[in-house]
Structure 1
Amino acid sequence: MADFIAKTIEEGEMPSTQIIIPPIEHKEWKLFTDGASTSDGSGAGLMLVSPEEKEFTYALHFEFSTTNNEAEYEALLAGLRLARDLNIQHLKAFVNSLLVVNQVTGTFEARSPTIQQYLAKAKELIRQFTGFEIEHARRSQKKKADALSKLASITFAHSAKEVLVETLERRSIEAEEGNDLYPDEDNTWMKPIKDYLAYGLLPEDKGEARKIRIKAPSYKLQDGKLYRKSLLTPWLRCVGPSQATIIIQEMREGVCGFHAGLRSIVAKIMRLGY
């Protein structure tokens, strides 16, 4: 995420926002996944390929033991979550495990209670895509994801910095406690735009109402959160002052604090008065 922010923010554009990828309405992305369980550990590798054939690689290291089938499901679930969070609408998945493919398509039945939970979670995520296909990956297609999964299952100390690595402390099928790190604030500059987009409400002042009508087409309300639209650049998650402060602190001192590109961006943000 740190690399993504550093590469995405163009020179001169420094809004106080959280960045996400815009949705792809008609173009298909490809997902390649592979899970590995060895005596040294378990892990998963996945690769997202954009319609323009740009590759995004990702590796997962599990701090819990898994069977090979469970590792394959963890890889698939991680890929589905990543694609969902990037607002990808059309996805074609190439999975290393023929068993997982046949269970997802309904050809084979999942008998193990644990695998049944994994299958249910996968179907839940799949329903969030406009279009979805799944196939068994051919040997030539799965080399990179296979290498990532084996690397993550043993160690990721020598991973190239272009590969994002995440450690999972618990299984994806275990219940998670909800925690919104960036809760929406009530009375900010966003409220009039939200009210207009959601309910058609406008301020009583005619001048302010006219401004909202002009601004509104540049924004979209999704799941109660406001995003600024863009055709050529990533969508921008709109945030209030307190949220912006939290994000800047994370960029400067938190999980991104040691990233050189982020430090330079934070310095510019501060100079511009955000």
Structure 2
Amino acid sequence: MICEPIFKKLKVGEHVMWDDQCQAAFDKIKEVLSSPPVLSLPVAGLPLSLYLTVTDTAIRAMLAQTVDKEERAIFYISKKFLDYEVNYTPLEKSCFALVCATKKLTHYMLSYSVSVYSKMDPIKAVSDFVADNPIEETEVVDTWSFSDEDVVHVEDDVWDLYFNGASNYMGYGVGILFISPVGEHVPVSIKLDFNVTNNAAEYEACLLGLRSALDLGVKKLLILGIYIKSQSLALYKTRIEELENYFEDIQYIHLPREENQFIDALSKLDALINIPDHIDNMPICVERRSSPAYVKAIDDAKEGETEPWYTAILKFKETGEYPSDLAMRGKHALRMLSAQFIRTDDGQLYKKMAQGVLL
């Protein structure tokens, strides 16, 4: 581990003497920080590679993906061994590294095919151990009996569809949410300009979801929502059965409204909102902010100028100078904002995110 010589000096009772090893570690840290790795987003459909490295004092892992014959880093993991973990055997340390990586990268491993590369093979070691130490059973185990057999098995190419309808004194609306096999969320909401009951609104939402799924080219669908049995709604049921014939596989799960809160809120929003007669679509934009509101105190892009928004930040990181027309409050905001960025030797500016990720 790069920082190990410096960490040893920080222990209680340790004689602090800056030596050549500490200086070499410090120089290495500066080199790494001045040329930070840029992480990439994984490309859906391509396998991932997990590289595990184990030393006497720490474990490291890198998740990567090869795209167009170029290997791109996606995620880094580093952990220093605790005192008792140092006593593990090399094989135990390799298994421990795999466990740590699996816990940290669960969301990737559930969505992608992952190949593990390590000097030792922790997976083979675990399988050999299980084979050599079978569990003695006093009763015959039914291999076809599972505790979670009531859970529907979803294949990789199955889409999830959540739906809900709302009817109240303000109006009527339906909301649906698609979740693709790779975890992409596609919400859709529609306001109904005709009178429907609560039960009919649920069927309207389900029909909207089925038609939208066909438009998206979905062949396998898992539908989650509230199902109403009513003879007065037989026409809705007939239409749903007609659309079901266009899918290769379609399954239903009853989901109470309290467990379907996002779609419930979406459908109620449609019912409450008033859309003018001359407007067919009224988009709702939900943004994600990665910086606090005080950033707006910096007027880094005057009207008519073509400089990018980060010009003042980059100049401050290079020279420590403020824009000439910046007030005291703006200078304070610029200092706080600049602390969230790193400037490399080649003049590139990167945003520091959680866990050391640079964007």
The answer to which structure, 1 or 2, has the higher relative contact order (CA under 8 A, 6+ apart) is: 1
TM-score (norm 2): 0.33
Structure of larger gyration radius: 2
